[in-house]
Amino acid sequence: MTTMTIGSGNALLDALKGCERGEWQHSPLYLWMAENFDIMEKSIGGGRVRWGRIAEAAHADGLMARHGGPAAPNTVKSTWYRVRKAVRRMLEMREDEVAATQARREAARAKRLQEEAELQEAASARAEAERELAVRQIAERGFPPAPAAPSIAPVTTSTAAGLTLAASEATLQDEAPSVVIGQIKRPVKMLEAAPRYGEDRFKPLPPTYVGPRPPGMPENLPLEALTPLDATGMTPDGKVDTRQMPGLPRMSFFERESDWARACVPMIEAVPLEKRSLALKGMLLVVKGYARNF
């Protein structure tokens, strides 16, 4: 029986590594130039090259041509041109690969941002639908005005919006600043009523507001912008009229609905939560939406 002797395989491994490095396809001179491409390109780029001297140096270092002998000057020159062409092509391929990877990342990022924007838009749409539903439910229930409450002014108040003169007076007394003699107030430019066009020019303006400035009222908003406290806060068909709530800014004073909403928000929030009617709670949702989205 013949016994087979198994070698270490080191020679085979070395041969495979040489194949991986391209030793079977290229000459030792070619491989050296490829490994030291940056030095070669910097040294001979743009200057006069003595290929004979380079061929002699290559032979002295044992860098042979493909046939195993010393490389002639023209062989050294042509080998360098082939190396330069191959390396530059490889660099271009890497740049294209990097650009393609960056493009894929940008596309993924754009897709992610679009999905986030769609989710945010859907959430805003749901919130807007909930606000509209709250207002519609308030309007359908048709809250009637509550009995008039006594006030310091010679007019009665309506609690349809939860703004009574008694509450306003108490809050004003709590928030009244101390008197400072000689204090100079900075000038405030008061807002003016929006121009009226078309048929609105012939509609009579509401009665003048009578009473103290309600808490939370913007400093530049004149009293003429407020709906009178004795207004019903209801439409002719018996529904809540959020655009003309007693003691709050009336929509017809403003040119833009968003400006009207921004003026209403601090005044409604100034009403204590326990004294805030259901109509005011629903209206606060609506005006906050207008003030935030427009």
* Spatial contact of 127 and 200, defined as CB atoms under 8 Å apart: no
What pLDDT is attached to residue 12? 67
Alpha helices in the chain (DSSP H): 10-21, 28-35, 37-44, 51-60, 73-141, 165-175, 257-269, 278-293
Distance between CA 214 and CA 211 in Å, rounded? 8
pTM: 0.41
pLDDT at position 63: 84
pLDDT of residue 160: 41
Distance CA 55, CA 70 (A): 8
pLDDT attached to residue 51:
82
Q: Tokens standing for 250?
A: 């009336």
- What whole-number distance in Å separates Cα of residue 9 and Cα of residue 202? 106
Closest CA to 290 of 265, 270, 255, 269: 265
The pLDDT value given to residue 9 = 61
* Cβ contact 278:143 at 8 Å: yes
> 240 in helix, strand or coil?
strand
**Contacts for 155 with CB less than 8 Å, ≥ 6 apart:** 210, 211, 228, 229, 230
Burial class (CB in 10 A: 0-12, 13-18, 19+), 104: exposed
The pLDDT averaged over each successive group of 10 residues in the chain (294 residues) is: 55 63 70 86 78 85 80 85 87 88 90 88 80 68 44 41 45 53 78 87 88 93 93 88 92 91 94 90 87 74
